[in-house]
Amino acid sequence: MYPYHNKIKQRINNGELIKYEYVDKYKQIAPCLLLYFNTEPYVRPIRAHRFEEYEKILSDQKK
């Protein structure tokens, strides 16, 4: 199985993340955190039960 979240975290640490945003609905995921990267795949959706984990990662990246 594709290590979805591990790969996303690795891409964030590598500086590939351009921006992120919270949206009410993305495809069949509601609510959703969308992560935008400068390499393919460009958009990665994150489900609500993972928001807290990614908020910590994203706040650490801003420092």
**pLDDT at residue 63, as a whole number:** 65
pLDDT tens across 9-41, in order?
999 999 999 999 999 999 999 999 999 999 999
Domain that holds residue 25: 4-62
**Band of residue 60 on the pLDDT scale cut at 50, 70, 90:** confident
How far from the centroid of its chain's Cα atoms is residue 7's Cα?
10
Examine the pLDDT at 1 and tell me if it is beyond 60: no
- 32, 46 contact by CB (below 8 A): yes
d(CA 5, CA 51): 12
d(CA 11, CA 38): 10
Continuous H helices in the chain = 4-13, 51-62
Domain tally, the chain = 1
